[in-house]
Chains A and B, each alone.
Chain A
Amino acid sequence: GEDVEQSLFLSVREGDSSVINCTYTDSSSTYLYWYKQEPGAGLQLLTYIFSNMDMKQDQRLTVLLNKKDKHLSLRIADTQTGDSAIYFCAETSRAAGNKLTFGGGTRVLVKP
Protein backbone atom coordinates (compact mmCIF):
# COMPACT_ATOMS: atom_id res chain seq x y z
CA GLY A 1 0.00 0.00 0.00
CA GLU A 2 0.91 3.66 0.00
CA ASP A 3 3.53 4.89 2.44
CA VAL A 4 4.64 8.38 3.41
CA GLU A 5 7.78 9.01 5.47
CA GLN A 6 9.14 12.07 7.23
CA SER A 7 12.01 12.82 9.57
CA LEU A 8 10.93 13.11 13.20
CA PHE A 9 12.41 16.35 14.38
CA LEU A 10 13.83 19.64 13.17
CA SER A 11 15.36 22.41 15.26
CA VAL A 12 15.84 25.84 13.71
CA ARG A 13 16.75 29.32 14.90
CA GLU A 14 14.22 32.12 14.62
CA GLY A 15 14.71 34.01 11.35
CA ASP A 16 16.36 31.09 9.57
CA SER A 17 14.69 28.97 6.89
CA SER A 18 13.25 25.56 7.77
CA VAL A 19 13.10 22.72 5.30
CA ILE A 20 10.90 19.73 6.07
CA ASN A 21 11.25 16.70 3.83
CA CYS A 22 8.85 13.93 2.90
CA THR A 23 9.03 10.87 0.67
CA TYR A 24 6.15 8.83 -0.65
CA THR A 25 5.76 5.60 -2.55
CA ASP A 26 2.53 5.96 -4.52
CA SER A 27 3.49 6.85 -8.07
CA SER A 28 -0.14 7.65 -8.85
CA SER A 29 -0.34 10.39 -6.21
CA THR A 30 -2.32 13.31 -7.52
CA TYR A 31 -2.29 15.79 -4.66
CA LEU A 32 0.28 16.25 -1.90
CA TYR A 33 -0.49 18.26 1.19
CA TRP A 34 1.22 19.88 4.13
CA TYR A 35 -0.75 20.09 7.36
CA LYS A 36 0.28 21.86 10.58
CA GLN A 37 -0.78 20.72 14.03
CA GLU A 38 -0.36 22.97 17.05
CA PRO A 39 -0.79 21.60 20.58
CA GLY A 40 -4.43 20.81 21.36
CA ALA A 41 -5.59 21.74 17.87
CA GLY A 42 -6.65 19.85 14.79
CA LEU A 43 -4.77 19.51 11.53
CA GLN A 44 -4.65 22.77 9.61
CA LEU A 45 -3.99 22.67 5.88
CA LEU A 46 -1.05 24.92 5.02
CA THR A 47 -0.71 24.28 1.32
CA TYR A 48 -1.00 21.60 -1.31
CA ILE A 49 0.49 20.86 -4.71
CA PHE A 50 -0.87 19.02 -7.70
CA SER A 51 1.41 16.30 -8.97
CA ASN A 52 1.99 17.94 -12.34
CA MET A 53 3.63 20.94 -10.64
CA ASP A 54 7.26 21.25 -9.53
CA MET A 55 6.91 24.17 -7.18
CA LYS A 56 4.32 26.25 -5.42
CA GLN A 57 4.98 29.40 -3.44
CA ASP A 58 2.60 30.96 -0.96
CA GLN A 59 4.03 33.85 1.07
CA ARG A 60 6.67 32.33 3.38
CA LEU A 61 5.95 28.79 2.23
CA THR A 62 7.58 27.08 -0.75
CA VAL A 63 6.68 23.53 -1.74
CA LEU A 64 9.02 21.61 -4.01
CA LEU A 65 7.99 18.36 -5.66
CA ASN A 66 10.40 15.94 -7.31
CA LYS A 67 8.03 13.43 -8.82
CA LYS A 68 10.81 11.24 -10.20
CA ASP A 69 12.28 10.73 -6.72
CA LYS A 70 8.86 10.94 -5.03
CA HIS A 71 10.22 13.64 -2.75
CA LEU A 72 8.28 16.59 -1.37
CA SER A 73 9.65 19.42 0.72
CA LEU A 74 8.24 22.40 2.56
CA ARG A 75 10.44 25.43 3.06
CA ILE A 76 9.40 28.04 5.61
CA ALA A 77 11.25 31.31 5.14
CA ASP A 78 12.03 33.56 8.11
CA THR A 79 10.83 30.96 10.62
CA GLN A 80 9.05 32.41 13.64
CA THR A 81 8.41 30.96 17.10
CA GLY A 82 4.76 30.62 16.10
CA ASP A 83 5.86 28.11 13.46
CA SER A 84 6.77 25.61 16.19
CA ALA A 85 4.38 22.71 15.59
CA ILE A 86 4.15 19.26 14.05
CA TYR A 87 4.04 19.28 10.26
CA PHE A 88 2.41 16.41 8.39
CA CYS A 89 2.88 15.50 4.78
CA ALA A 90 -0.08 13.69 3.19
CA GLU A 91 -1.01 12.41 -0.23
CA THR A 92 -4.01 11.20 -2.10
CA SER A 93 -4.54 9.63 -5.49
CA ARG A 94 -7.48 8.95 -7.74
CA ALA A 95 -7.23 5.28 -6.85
CA ALA A 96 -7.37 6.15 -3.15
CA GLY A 97 -10.51 8.20 -3.61
CA ASN A 98 -10.93 10.56 -0.72
CA LYS A 99 -8.49 8.93 1.65
CA LEU A 100 -5.48 10.92 2.83
CA THR A 101 -2.33 8.94 3.65
CA PHE A 102 -0.22 10.75 6.21
CA GLY A 103 3.43 10.73 7.15
CA GLY A 104 4.38 10.43 10.78
CA GLY A 105 4.87 14.16 11.23
CA THR A 106 7.96 16.31 11.77
CA ARG A 107 8.16 18.20 15.03
CA VAL A 108 9.66 21.64 14.35
CA LEU A 109 11.12 23.55 17.26
CA VAL A 110 11.99 27.19 16.65
CA LYS A 111 14.56 28.58 19.06
CA PRO A 112 14.71 32.33 19.72
Chain B
Amino acid sequence: EPEVTQTPSHQVTQMGQEVILRCVPISNHLYFYWYRQILGQKVEFLVSFYNNEISEKSEIFDDQFSVERPDGSNFTLKIRSTKLEDSAMYFCASSELGTSGGDEQFFGPGTRLTVL
Protein backbone atom coordinates (compact mmCIF):
# COMPACT_ATOMS: atom_id res chain seq x y z
CA GLU B 1 0.00 0.00 0.00
CA PRO B 2 1.45 3.40 -0.91
CA GLU B 3 2.47 5.58 2.02
CA VAL B 4 3.94 8.94 2.84
CA THR B 5 7.51 8.73 4.11
CA GLN B 6 9.51 11.29 6.07
CA THR B 7 13.19 11.67 6.86
CA PRO B 8 14.82 11.91 9.25
CA SER B 9 12.69 10.41 12.00
CA HIS B 10 14.49 12.56 14.57
CA GLN B 11 16.55 15.72 14.02
CA VAL B 12 18.49 17.52 16.71
CA THR B 13 19.81 20.98 15.93
CA GLN B 14 21.24 24.04 17.63
CA MET B 15 19.18 27.22 17.93
CA GLY B 16 19.78 29.48 14.93
CA GLN B 17 20.65 26.65 12.57
CA GLU B 18 18.75 25.87 9.39
CA VAL B 19 16.95 22.55 9.09
CA ILE B 20 15.30 20.84 6.16
CA LEU B 21 12.68 18.21 6.79
CA ARG B 22 11.99 15.88 3.91
CA CYS B 23 8.86 14.09 2.78
CA VAL B 24 8.02 11.81 -0.10
CA PRO B 25 4.26 12.07 -0.74
CA ILE B 26 2.24 9.36 -2.43
CA SER B 27 3.14 9.43 -6.10
CA ASN B 28 -0.16 10.35 -7.76
CA HIS B 29 -1.15 12.92 -5.14
CA LEU B 30 -1.43 16.57 -6.05
CA TYR B 31 -1.87 18.32 -2.69
CA PHE B 32 0.81 18.42 -0.01
CA TYR B 33 0.69 19.63 3.57
CA TRP B 34 2.81 20.23 6.64
CA TYR B 35 1.43 20.09 10.18
CA ARG B 36 3.21 20.22 13.50
CA GLN B 37 2.47 19.04 17.01
CA ILE B 38 4.27 20.61 19.93
CA LEU B 39 4.50 18.16 22.81
CA GLY B 40 1.24 18.12 24.74
CA GLN B 41 -0.53 20.38 22.26
CA LYS B 42 -2.81 19.93 19.26
CA VAL B 43 -1.77 19.07 15.73
CA GLU B 44 -1.62 22.43 13.93
CA PHE B 45 -1.80 23.18 10.24
CA LEU B 46 1.21 24.96 8.79
CA VAL B 47 0.86 25.07 5.02
CA SER B 48 -0.70 23.45 1.98
CA PHE B 49 0.91 23.29 -1.45
CA TYR B 50 -0.63 22.67 -4.85
CA ASN B 51 0.55 23.15 -8.39
CA ASN B 52 3.99 24.25 -7.21
CA GLU B 53 2.80 27.03 -5.00
CA ILE B 54 1.51 27.61 -1.50
CA SER B 55 -2.30 27.46 -1.50
CA GLU B 56 -2.85 28.21 2.19
CA LYS B 57 -0.71 28.94 5.20
CA SER B 58 -1.32 29.55 8.88
CA GLU B 59 -0.07 32.37 11.07
CA ILE B 60 2.63 30.03 12.33
CA PHE B 61 4.12 29.80 8.84
CA ASP B 62 6.13 33.02 8.92
CA ASP B 63 9.16 34.12 6.92
CA GLN B 64 11.36 31.60 8.74
CA PHE B 65 9.53 28.77 7.03
CA SER B 66 9.53 27.78 3.38
CA VAL B 67 8.40 24.78 1.37
CA GLU B 68 9.64 23.39 -1.88
CA ARG B 69 9.07 20.56 -4.25
CA PRO B 70 12.59 20.33 -5.66
CA ASP B 71 11.87 17.37 -7.92
CA GLY B 72 8.97 15.13 -8.84
CA SER B 73 9.01 13.18 -5.60
CA ASN B 74 10.24 15.19 -2.62
CA PHE B 75 8.43 17.86 -0.64
CA THR B 76 10.54 19.77 1.88
CA LEU B 77 9.98 22.10 4.80
CA LYS B 78 12.85 24.45 5.60
CA ILE B 79 13.20 26.39 8.82
CA ARG B 80 15.78 29.09 8.25
CA SER B 81 16.89 29.92 11.77
CA THR B 82 15.45 27.53 14.31
CA LYS B 83 14.15 28.68 17.67
CA LEU B 84 13.58 26.64 20.81
CA GLU B 85 9.83 26.88 20.26
CA ASP B 86 10.18 25.14 16.88
CA SER B 87 10.77 21.88 18.75
CA ALA B 88 7.84 19.67 17.72
CA MET B 89 6.78 16.66 15.70
CA TYR B 90 6.35 17.70 12.08
CA PHE B 91 3.93 15.71 9.95
CA CYS B 92 3.79 15.73 6.18
CA ALA B 93 0.56 14.73 4.43
CA SER B 94 -0.67 14.40 0.87
CA SER B 95 -4.00 13.98 -0.84
CA GLU B 96 -5.06 13.18 -4.36
CA LEU B 97 -7.64 15.93 -4.42
CA GLY B 98 -8.31 18.81 -2.07
CA THR B 99 -9.69 18.10 1.37
CA SER B 100 -12.50 20.58 0.88
CA GLY B 101 -13.99 17.89 -1.33
CA GLY B 102 -13.74 15.36 1.48
CA ASP B 103 -10.63 13.72 0.15
CA GLU B 104 -8.40 11.90 2.63
CA GLN B 105 -5.09 13.35 3.72
CA PHE B 106 -2.53 10.58 4.16
CA PHE B 107 -0.01 11.34 6.88
CA GLY B 108 3.61 10.35 7.24
CA PRO B 109 5.08 9.07 10.53
CA GLY B 110 6.53 12.45 11.42
CA THR B 111 9.94 13.97 12.09
CA ARG B 112 10.67 14.89 15.67
CA LEU B 113 12.65 18.14 15.67
CA THR B 114 14.54 19.04 18.84
CA VAL B 115 16.11 22.50 19.01
CA LEU B 116 18.74 22.93 21.74
Interface residues of A (CB under 8 A from B): 4, 30-31, 35, 40-45, 48, 50, 88, 90, 92-94, 96-105
> Do A98 and B108 contact each other (CB < 8 Å), given the known contacts A43-B91, A88-B43, A92-B99?
no
Q: Does B68 contact A (CB under 8 A)?
A: no
- Which of B42, B44, B48, B106 has the most chain A CB atoms closer than 10 A to its own CB? B42
Interface size on B, residues (CB 8 A): 28
Query: Is the Cβ of B95 less than 8 Å from the Cβ of A98?
Result: yes
With known contacts A30-B100, A31-B102, A98–B31 Cβ distance under 8 A: yes
Least Cβ distance of A42 to chain B in Å?
Answer: 4
At the interface, yes or no: B4 with Cβ under 8 Å from chain A? yes
The answer for the CA separation of A97 and B101 in the assembled complex, in Å, is 9
Q: Contacts A42-B4, A44-B107 hold; do A50 and B102 have CB atoms under 8 A apart?
A: yes
- Between A and B, 10 residue pairs with Cβ closer than 8 Å are A41-B109, A92-B100, A96-B100, A97-B99, A98-B31, A98-B33, A98-B95, A102-B35, A102-B42, A104-B41
B105, CB-defined interface residue at 8 Å: yes
